[in-house]
Amino acid sequence: MKVNINSVHFKTDRKLENFIEKKLEKLTGKMEGVIGSEVTLKLESSENHENKVAEIRLLVRGYDLYAKKQSRTFEQATDTAIDALRKQLDKYKGKYRK
């Protein structure tokens, strides 16, 4: 599966990219039909410490799953977004398994 990682107004390090790729591989390993994923990381300009945003679009044959989460770190935001995608993926599998 192809993972496309974009960062807005900053440069990601290889450690963060590896973390995201590993999490997505683990998520999509359960399902056939996943074409790829697009991850966008950005910093929100706010006074709040939870200003890291992870947006993940999972490209599934005939359907796209999307989650956007905000947290204190990019790792936490990615984890919560992947949890949301896992729920969507389970629902998608249940709907199209019939």
Interval 17-71: pLDDT, tens: 999 999 999 988 767 778 899 999 999 877 777 889 999 999 988 788 999 999 9
Q: Residue 98 domain-assigned?
A: no
Q: What residues make up the domain containing 50?
A: 2-85
What is the three-class DSSP state of 47? coil
Q: Residue 92 domain-assigned?
A: no
Rg (CA), the chain: 14
Q: Total structural domains in the chain?
A: 1
Q: Residue 97 domain-assigned?
A: no
Q: Residue 91 domain-assigned?
A: no
- The reported pTM is 0.87
Angle ∠(7,70,57) on CA atoms, nearest 5 = 60
Can you tell me the distance from the alpha carbon of 51 to that of 93, in angstroms, rounded to the nearest whole number?
A: 32
Residue of higher predicted confidence among 6 and 60 = 6
Contact partners, residue 23, CB within 8 Å, separation at least 6: 78, 79, 82
